[in-house]
Structure 1
Amino acid sequence: MSDPYMPTAPQSSTELLQRCQALAGLTLGQIAATAGVTVPANLQRDKGWVGQLLEHTLGATAGSKAEPDFPTLGIELKTLPIDQSGKPLESTYVCVAPLTGVAGLQWQDSWVCQKLQHVLWLPILAERQIPLAQRMVGTGFLWQPSPTQLQLLQQDWEELMEQITLGGIANIRGAQGKVLQLRPKAANSKALTQAVGASGEPILTLPRGFYLKAGFTAAILQQHFNSV
């Protein structure tokens, strides 16, 4: 998104939250108009558009690099589509899952662990019947996982990565994991990548991504808004 309204990176988490608070109650159409950006008709071909618009508006600088969206603050931005009652509408994408060369990879060094150390959650009222431009941004808040939440994430990640390492990628289903799941993440069925097969042989498969289950993000929302 290159345009003359390029915001500078926030210098502190306080400044970032203030920018978020200024967006609360605005529609995506209003935010896009201020940024000089055209709203797509729908998200079918522009799945990451909402996140990109808000990253741009808030001054995120990471782009597609393997680092948090606000690198100097160590904060990752996650938009969270919710319904009228405040329930998440879908699971939340975290990052691409590595499928080769993963033997010996530790949780602490994983991209999932790095991305979820400090998250700025930005809820968006995004029920399907609401046109994209009229979807409204809610109140953003900062979150760091509790020891219990970290333990659950680590446990799921380690179990899923063990299956990948042992050639069991084809058997992994979205229902696995208490809070973290592994799902295909590809633009189409031709976008294949290398992985390890059941006998240790190289195979081609769809790329996979790690996602936070909706029940987990619902608990994060509930915990935050009950404590406000």
Structure 2
Amino acid sequence: MLDITSADSIIDFAKLLKNQTLREVCGKEIEKHGYKGKGNFGQILEKFYFGYEPNSDAEPDFKEAGIELKSSPLKTLRNGELRSKERLVLNIINYLEVHKEDFETSSFWKKNAHLLLVFYLHDKDLDLLDYLIKLVDGWQYPNEDLKIIKHDWETINQKIKDGKAHELSEGDTFYLGACTKGSTALKSYRDQPFNVEKAKQRAYSLKQGYVNHIIANIAQEETAVYGKIIDQPEILDLVQSIEDVVISKFQPFYGKSAEHIEQELGLELNQKAKSYFANLTNTILGIELNQKIAEFEKADIRVKTIRLKENNLPKEDVSFPTFKYKEFVRTDWEDSDFKNILESKFFFVFYQFEGEDLILRKVKFWNMPHSDILEAKDVWEKTIKTVSNGGIVKEITDKGIRKTNFPKKTENRVSHVRPHAKNAADTYELPVADKLTGLTEFTKHCFWLNASYVKDEIYLKNSSPNLT
């Protein structure tokens, strides 16, 4: 018997869903659910299993017990492990009210302090009523995570107080993000209190990496592959943020060569191995060589080691994953991988050549300013147009080299597009044949950050993190 005033009763009732589908647990009447839209799995679950009408109240779904119900899709990796398919979207950020709140009494905390999570296996070939529910449990934030989430909330709130709600980015924070919610249409823009410029509607969300952390906990998976930077949560009471902790661990090594750092840490590494700098970073942070950094994984932080020439210019541009042409042209900007990457938080480790030696200069947490993301969007739009129109190849030289119409370094201050493949025969299928060559496949390409941009806007700028 479900007691809606008892958290334990609600969670136990929810756990009966495990390894079943909505159709199996709710019977025939569910087939006439009539819900349409992205969140309708959750709406059907609320109405037909828990017996209440879906709503957008500020109170938790089970207000007497203080529990908020959330459902979220899973994907299965090749090795059979379960991972989150997406971030977990929580409540809408009310720009006009949130700046008046403190974290402990905030609408966010009242609604999301205790979550009931229902994870289901997404399968595009099935009706959502037949999605298999794999994991169900309650979730309350461990103290070490809560300190970081509170700091994230305060960072988002400060940006709103500064009149910069229109510049909010998921890269501003660690575990708790401010994700866009709704279409790009003008109707999804909202007033903000300290600026006349309207801001996109956003919602609090737990980042995908943090959701994976929750999944691993509920599934009781082995967590030995993760090492923590912060073993004692009390450390965060003594410093402003996790960023301060990380940077303080690197500062004693500034001005020292990679080889010297290796010796000082008692390591014997293969300097030619791809993992060389990652292993140095791990050891400086107190993480074992074979472990992932728990806090970075939970925050979806992208670690980039940059080798600078003596003139401060990076030796190479910064590459991102290749894009599949067919999928790429079917994606809009808001859902694009490129925007998702640019809105991430990065951790840069800068080494500089002094003759043959590489000297550690500094480390920096960084996320791309809003105005620069808009500049990079121009590159994305031009690339989409080029692929969609079958206009990739501009000319073929006498030596048989294919010159493309993809955006070049000289055309954009932030980014460009060029090959990122083993060789010319390493290809992806095209959505339409290239007009000049008739090719139906083309060499893999990706977006790159310009080396000059990394030098000027990341290495030489002192702000850390970038919240402008």
Query: TM-score over 0.5 for the alignment?
Result: yes
* Matches of 1:206 and 1:139, distance apart in 2: 33
Q: CA RMSD in A?
A: 2.6
* Matches of 1:131 and 1:61, distance apart in 2: 22
Structure with max Cα Rg:
2
- Following superposition, the deviation at residue 18 of structure 1 comes to 3.2
* Matches of 2:25 and 2:186, distance apart in 1: 35
**Which protein, 1 or 2, shows the higher relative CO under an 8 Å CA cutoff with sep ≥ 6?**
1
**In the alignment, structure 1 residue 77 sits paired with structure 2 residue 74:** no
**In the alignment, structure 1 residue 222 sits paired with structure 2 residue 222:** no
* Matches of 1:187 and 1:141, distance apart in 2: 31
**In the alignment, structure 1 residue 64 sits paired with structure 2 residue 56:** yes
Matches within 5 A, 1:5-154: 10-31=4-25, 33-38=27-32, 45-56=36-47, 57-60=49-52, 63-84=55-76, 85-154=81-150
Change over 3 Å in CA distance of 1:83–1:24 after alignment to 2: same
Q: Secondary structure at the match of 1:54?
A: helix
- Following superposition, the deviation at residue 9 of structure 1 comes to 6.1
* Matches of 1:102 and 1:12, distance apart in 2: 29
| Aligned partner (choices 199, 204, 208) of residue 202 of structure 2 | 208
Change over 3 Å in CA distance of 1:14–1:171 after alignment to 2: closer
Q: Which runs of 5+ in 2 are unaligned?
A: 223-468
1:2-22 deviations in Å (ceiling 9; x for gaps): xxxxx9763423332332232
| Deviation larger for 159-168 or 107-116 | 107-116
- Give the conservation status (yes or no) of the 8 Å contact 2:166–2:197: no
- Give the conservation status (yes or no) of the 8 Å contact 1:61–1:69: no
- Give the conservation status (yes or no) of the 8 Å contact 2:74–2:83: yes
* Matches of 1:62 and 1:74, distance apart in 2: 16
Paired residue type of 1:224: I
Q: Secondary structure at the match of 1:87?
A: strand
* Matches of 2:55 and 2:97, distance apart in 1: 25
- Give the conservation status (yes or no) of the 8 Å contact 2:155–2:172: no
- Give the conservation status (yes or no) of the 8 Å contact 2:135–2:218: no
Q: Tell me which residue corresponds to 2:235.
A: none
Paired residue type of 1:151: K
> TM-score if structure 1 supplies the norm length?
0.82
- Following superposition, the deviation at residue 139 of structure 1 comes to 3.2
Percent identity over the alignment?
21
* Matches of 1:183 and 1:139, distance apart in 2: 24
**In the alignment, structure 1 residue 195 sits paired with structure 2 residue 192:** yes
* Matches of 2:70 and 2:27, distance apart in 1: 21
- Give the conservation status (yes or no) of the 8 Å contact 1:184–1:209: yes
- Following superposition, the deviation at residue 109 of structure 1 comes to 1.8
> TM-score if structure 2 supplies the norm length?
0.42
| Aligned partner (choices 155, 160, 170) of residue 164 of structure 1 | 160
Say how many residue pairs are matched: 216
Change over 3 Å in CA distance of 1:201–1:51 after alignment to 2: same
- Following superposition, the deviation at residue 60 of structure 1 comes to 4.5
- Give the conservation status (yes or no) of the 8 Å contact 2:22–2:130: yes
- Give the conservation status (yes or no) of the 8 Å contact 1:60–1:70: no
Q: Secondary structure at the match of 2:83?
A: coil
- Following superposition, the deviation at residue 122 of structure 1 comes to 0.7
Q: Secondary structure at the match of 2:198?
A: strand
Paired residue type of 1:195: Q
1:159-202 deviations in Å (ceiling 9; x for gaps): 01101110112222223311111122124513232114xxx432
- Give the conservation status (yes or no) of the 8 Å contact 1:82–1:127: no
1:128-156 deviations in Å (ceiling 9; x for gaps): 44442321112311121111111111111
* Matches of 1:133 and 1:31, distance apart in 2: 10
Paired residue type of 1:81: P
- Give the conservation status (yes or no) of the 8 Å contact 2:176–2:207: yes
Q: Tell me which residue corresponds to 1:3.
A: none
